[in-house]
Structure 1
Amino acid sequence: MRLFVAVNPPTAAIQELVDAAAPLMDMPGADRLRWSEVAGWHLTLAFLGEVPVVDVPALETLLARAADEHGAHRLRLAGGGTFGDRVLWAGIAGEVWALRRLAEAVREALPQVGIESDQHGFHPHLTLARAGSSHGQRRAERRSAVGELQAMAAALEEFRGTEWEAAELHLMSSERGFGPARYRTVASWPLARWEA
């Protein structure tokens, strides 16, 4: 199974971002991007890759423990940015420190069940679009692509969605075939709630 661990924004927060991102589709360069399917918008905490089905129960036990040890927290979708000339993303604001701690706990625990997650540092974001390969592009074309993505990110700079509660940890599967990947929840766990 091709798996990842995520926190999923609620439908209302996703709709706010859909509305904020709609004008980006008319900006220069938007037609050259592969826009993410709204149904696949999530905050990936750790990408696990291919995991044998027999390892999933141990993984679920580990994730249940992580959820029990980390509290629900308040987040909002806010702003935007790019990863070079390749990715346009929406940012996250609010109790991001709590989201980071949850991601770190998940990533640090994975080797206990023989799973290595992606090696990239955790940068909380929601991917909106990806550029095609820049291989073979002239330097001027790459600079133009970077400028176009940066202009789109700047157009999202003032976006601040409504605050929502990140209250569940999800083990998700990514199923590939023809067309975009399809995502489904394998299991979910509520994050802890502590009395003040």
Structure 2
Amino acid sequence: MRLFVAVCPPLEALTHLGAEVARLRIGAAAAAGTNVRLADPPELHLTLAFLGEVETARLVEVESALGLAAEWFRDGRDASPRLSLGGGGRFGQGRSTVLWVDLQGDVESLHALARLIRSRLRHARLPYDDKPYRPHLTVARPGDRVDPADIEADQATLDGYQGPPWPATELLLVRSHLGPGPRYDRLAAWPL
């Protein structure tokens, strides 16, 4: 199973972001039929840890590690972290160009949660990607199908974007299915 751990913004925040993306040049390109690979709002998530392929027999170990991380994170906290989507950026260039929205608010709490998760996964000798954590929400993968100047203009617009605040109330374990239309199955959840 291909697994990752995430926090999902609520529908209100995703709807607000979706309206902003529709006004971008990539939104107009998508409406005109260009395959800019806009992210599907119900599938949008903030990845905290990517485990990759994990044997089905180890799913209980993964759930146990994540349950402990969520429990330790909640201890001593009065409330869930308050976050918002705002600002923007881009990874890659040419065919690998990705546009993303940044995270604002209590981002340090999300970093602390990501460290706890990775610590528990490491302790259980479970696989995970140990790249530095950079919270973001991918909104499109336009690649080289859109003029670079349009992507640059959209990045500048996203950099000025500010979405509504929301509490991160739930940690999710998600299974991803690759393919032309990636699918995500929610396997387990823990309160934050």
Q: Is the TM value for this pair above 0.5?
A: yes
- Please list every run of at least 4 consecutive aligned residues from structure 1 whose deviation after the TM superposition is greater than 4 angstroms: none
* Unaligned 5+ runs, structure 2: 75-79
Q: Note the 1:154-173 alignment, pairs <5 A.
A: 154-173=156-175
107-116 or 5-14: which moved more?
A: 107-116
Counterpart residue identity of residue 92, structure 1: L
Deviation at 1:11, TM superposition (A): 0.7
Partner residue in 2 for 1:137: none
Partner residue in 2 for 1:74: 82
Partner residue in 2 for 1:113: 124
Deviation at 1:26, TM superposition (A): 2.0
Alignment partner of 1:99 is 2:89 = no
Conserved? CA contact 1:27–1:152, under 8 Å: no
Conserved? CA contact 1:76–1:162, under 8 Å: yes
Q: Note the 1:29-108 alignment, pairs <5 A.
A: 31=34, 33-71=36-74, 72-85=80-93, 86-108=97-119
The size of the alignment, in residue pairs, is 181
Conserved? CA contact 2:54–2:127, under 8 Å: no
Deviation at 1:161, TM superposition (A): 1.1
What CA deviation, in whole Å up to 9, does each residue of 1:112-163 have, x standing for no partner?
Answer: 233221232111100011144x7xxxxxx99x53x43221111122221111
What CA deviation, in whole Å up to 9, does each residue of 1:26-46 have, x standing for no partner?
Answer: 269x93522222221000011
Deviation at 1:175, TM superposition (A): 1.7
Matches of 2:169 and 2:61, distance apart in 1:
22
Percent identity between the aligned chains? 39
Conserved? CA contact 1:37–1:180, under 8 Å: no
Conserved? CA contact 1:81–1:150, under 8 Å: no
What CA deviation, in whole Å up to 9, does each residue of 1:92-124 have, x standing for no partner?
Answer: 100000001101111222122332212321111
Matches of 1:41 and 1:2, distance apart in 2:
17
TM-score, structure 1 as length reference: 0.84
Matches of 2:12 and 2:50, distance apart in 1:
25
Conserved? CA contact 2:172–2:190, under 8 Å: yes
